[in-house]
Chain A
Amino acid sequence: MNKKNVLEKLSLAFGAAVVIGAIWFWSLQVMEVIEILRLAAE
């Protein structure tokens, strides 16, 4: 397998990991904000 093929596969795998990681990370942040707003409203 040449270098270009390896980079293409890396790019696809990296893309999937980044999308999953970003959804997880920003969900945590948004949930934290929601929790703060909920506590403030109580």
Chain B
Amino acid sequence: MDLLFLFEWLDTSFLATMSKAYGGVFAVVQMFHLLSMSMLGGMVILSDLRLLGVLMKDVPSEVVVENTNKWFGVALVVLIISGIFMSSAVALKLYYNEMYWAKMITLLIGIVFFYAIRKPLLKHDHSTINPWALRSLAVSSLIIWFTVAASGRWIGFS
């Protein structure tokens, strides 16, 4: 499916006018994007390293996961909203950028993985879950979100 029409629309939208004309607005939105990225990264590292038994061993992993999931969701929403705004400034350039699509595909995989596999599985008592499944969950989560962040940074160099 060709999504060029979507990017053409975004390039001429009100968001694009705002982001291109007002550097200050873009900078503030970018600040929120970066803050929420660090928040999401923090939540991922915290919960996954707890699942791997690396840190916070004195706190039950159920408690860590429950608390981090909440803030993960908040960070994800802010990231997506601010990301759409930032994309509007260079929508057509991004459409032809391979790393942008690598990031978007990984982000989609990450969201589906989080809400369809990770969250439902971790609702169960962690001591009853196959330890290898828990390790696999944590490692794949770390790899996916690292790839999302790193490929996002890579866009600027490709």
Binding site for B on A (CB under 8 A): 3-4, 7-12, 14-16, 18-19, 22, 25-26, 29
Cα-based distance from A19 to B132 in the complex (angstroms):
14
Size range of the chain B interface in the assembly? 20 to 34
Cα-based distance from A3 to B121 in the complex (angstroms):
9
Contact B140 A3 (CB under 8 A): no
**In the complex, B143 has a CB within 8 A of chain A:** yes
Contact of A12 among B128, B133, B154 (CB under 8 A): B133
Q: Which B119-158 residues sit within 8 Å CB-CB of chain A?
A: 120-121, 124, 128-130, 132-137, 139-140, 143-144, 147, 154
Interface majority SS (helix, strand, loop, mixed), chain A: helix
Contact A8 B154 (CB under 8 A): no
Cα-based distance from A15 to B131 in the complex (angstroms):
13
Cα-based distance from A7 to B102 in the complex (angstroms):
26
**What residues of A have a CB within 8 angstroms of the CB of B117 in the complex?**
7, 10-11, 14
Contact A18 B120 (CB under 8 A): no
Contact B124 A22 (CB under 8 A): no
Q: Report A32 CB to chain B, min CB distance, Å.
A: 9
**What residues of A have a CB within 8 angstroms of the CB of B118 in the complex?**
11
Known interface pairs A15-B140, A18-B140; 4 further A-B residue pairs with C-beta atoms within 8 A, sorted by A's residue number: A4-B124, A4-B129, A8-B133, A10-B117
Contact of B133 among A11, A25, A26 (CB under 8 A): A11
